[in-house]
C-alpha cells in the first residue's frame, strides 16, 4: 500500500475573547498568503461544553488546503474562558502559536450581555439583573442554561488575567500574542505588522481591519452595573499589563 497522506492539523489558534473582534481578526489573518484559517469560525471542538456537531475527521478537514502555508488556524472564543481547554491544546499542539484579542473587560461584559439578548439565550431583561444572577448561575446546573455556560458569566468570563495565565504557564510567553480591539482598530497597520513578525511572516495585510459582527447601538452601562463590574473586575487590566510587561490600549 502507498504512503497515507498526513493529517492536516492546526498550529495557530485565536483563543478569544468573545466580543473583542475575533471574527475580524480571523478574516484578516485568512487573507495572508501563508495562513489558512478554517472556513468554520468557532468550531469550539476542544471546549468541554462544545457546540461542534461534526466528527473529529470533520474537524481536521477544516485545515486541509491545496496552498502551501505555514499556519493552519481556527478561532474559538470559548478556548479562553473554558478552564479545561489550555491543557488539552498544550498536550495535542505544544508548538502552536496563540493569539488573544481583548477589550476593556467591563465593556466586553456589557457587549456580551447585549449579544446574548439579541440572540435570545439570555432571559433577564436588564444587565444589572444578569450580573446579580451570575453567582447563582455559576453554582447551578450549567446544562439548564441552554448555551455555552461561560457566555452567561459576564464578569467572570472577563477575567483575562486568570485566563491568560493558564496558557502562559503551559506554552510560555514567546508563543502568545496579545492585542486589543482598540489597537487593531486605531493602529491596524502597526499592530498587524507586529502580529506578522510574531508569526515570522512577511507583512501582507488587508488595507484595514475588517469589520464583522458590528453590534447595533445599545444603552450605556447603568450605574448599578458599573459598580458591580468595578468591584468584580478590579485590577484586571493592571494585572494583564504587568503580566505582559507593557501597557495595552484599553480605550474600547
Model pLDDT for residues 123-181, shown as the tens digit of each residue = 999 999 999 999 999 999 998 998 899 999 999 999 999 999 999 999 999 999 999 99
Closest CA to 84 of 173, 202, 194, 163: 163
**Assigned domain for 98 exists:** yes
- The three cell numbers of residue 160 are 483575562
User: Does residue 104 fall inside a structural domain?
Assistant: yes
Q: Return the minimum-mean-pLDDT range out of 31-35, 145-149, 163-167, 182-186.
A: 145-149
Query: What integer is the mean pLDDT of 207-219?
Result: 79
Q: Considering the chain, what percentage of its residues have pLDDT values greater than 90?
A: 85
> How far is residue 68's CA from residue 63's CA, in Å, rounded to a whole number?
12
Based on C-alpha coordinates, what's the Rg of the chain? 18
Q: Domain of 59: which CATH number?
A: 3.40.50.300
Q: Which domain does 218 fall in, by range?
A: 12-244
Spatial distance between the Cα atoms of 11 and 98, rounded to a whole number of angstroms: 8
Catalytic residue among 19, 41, 144, 186: 19
Per the CB < 8 A criterion, the answer to whether 86 and 175 are in contact is no
Other beta carbons within 10 angstroms of residue 170's beta carbon come to 15
* CB burial of residue 198 (10 Å; 0-12, 13-18, 19+): middle
Sign of CA dihedral 153, 245, 202, 167: negative
What integer pLDDT is reported at residue 235 of this predicted model? 98
pTM: 0.94
Residue 207's pLDDT band, with cuts at 50, 70 and 90, is low
Residue 4 has pLDDT above 50, yes or no: no
Q: Where are the alpha helices (DSSP H) in the chain?
A: 22-30, 56-61, 78-81, 85-92, 105-118, 127-139, 160-171, 181-186, 188-199, 223-232, 236-244
pLDDT for res 1? 39
Query: Domain count of the chain?
Result: 1
Asked if the structure places residue 140 within a domain, the reply is yes
Question: Is 252 part of any domain?
Answer: no
Location of C-alpha cell 501582507: 204
Indicate if the pLDDT at residue 5 is higher than 70. no
In a domain, 251, yes or no: no
What's the mean per-residue pLDDT of the chain? Answer: 93
A 10 A CB-CB count for 159 gives 19
Is the CB of residue 224 less than 8 Å from the CB of residue 51? no
Note if 19 is an active site residue. Answer: yes
Is residue 3 included in any domain, yes or no? no
pLDDT at 2: 40
Cβ neighbours, 10 Å, residue 7: 11
On whether residue 249 sits in a domain, the answer given is no
Give CA torsion, residues 132, 241, 198, 249, to 10 deg.
Answer: 70
Q: What is the pLDDT of residues 37-59, one digit of tens each?
A: 999 999 999 998 766 778 999 99
Q: Mean pLDDT across the stretch 16-24?
A: 95
Amino acid at each position: 500500500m502507498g504512503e497515507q497522506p498526513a493529517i492536516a492539523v492546526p498550529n495557530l489558534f485565536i483563543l478569544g475573547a468573545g466580543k473583542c473582534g475575533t471574527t475580524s481578526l480571523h478574516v484578516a489573518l485568512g487573507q495572508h498568503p501563508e495562513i489558512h484559517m478554517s472556513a468554520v469560525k468557532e468550531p469550539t471542538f476542544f471546549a468541554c461544553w462544545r457546540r461542534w456537531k461534526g466528527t473529529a475527521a470533520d474537524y481536521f478537514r477544516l485545515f486541509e488546503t491545496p496552498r502551501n502555508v505555514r499556519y493552519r488556524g481556527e478561532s474559538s472564543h470559548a478556548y479562553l474562558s473554558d478552564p479545561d481547554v489550555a491543557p488539552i491544546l498544550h498536550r495535542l499542539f505544544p508548538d502552536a502559536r496563540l493569539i488573544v484579542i481583548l477589550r476593556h473587560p467591563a465593556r466586553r461584559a456589557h457587549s456580551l450581555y447585549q449579544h446574548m439578548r439579541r440572540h435570545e439565550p439570555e432571559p433577564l431583561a436588564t444587565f444589572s439583573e444578569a450580573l446579580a444572577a451570575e453567582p447563582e448561575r455559576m453554582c447551578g446546573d450549567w446544562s439548564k442554561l441552554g448555551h455555552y455556560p461561560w457566555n452567561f458569566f459576564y464578569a467572570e468570563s472577563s477575567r483575562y488575567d486568570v485566563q491568560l495565565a493558564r496558557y502562559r504557564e503551559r506554552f510560555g510567553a514567546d508563543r502568545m500574542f496579545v492585542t486589543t480591539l482598540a489597537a487593531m482598530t486605531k493602529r491596524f497597520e502597526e499592530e498587524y505588522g507586529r502580529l506578522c513578525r510574531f508569526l515570522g511572516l512577511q507583512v501582507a495585510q488587508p488595507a484595514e481591519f475588517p469589520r464583522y459582527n458590528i453590534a447595533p447601538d445599545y444603552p450605556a452601562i447603568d450605574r448599578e452595573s458599573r459598580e458591580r463590574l468595578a468591584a468584580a473586575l478590579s485590577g484586571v487590566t493592571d494585572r494583564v499589563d504587568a503580566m505582559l510587561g507593557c501597557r495595552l490600549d484599553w480605550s474600547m
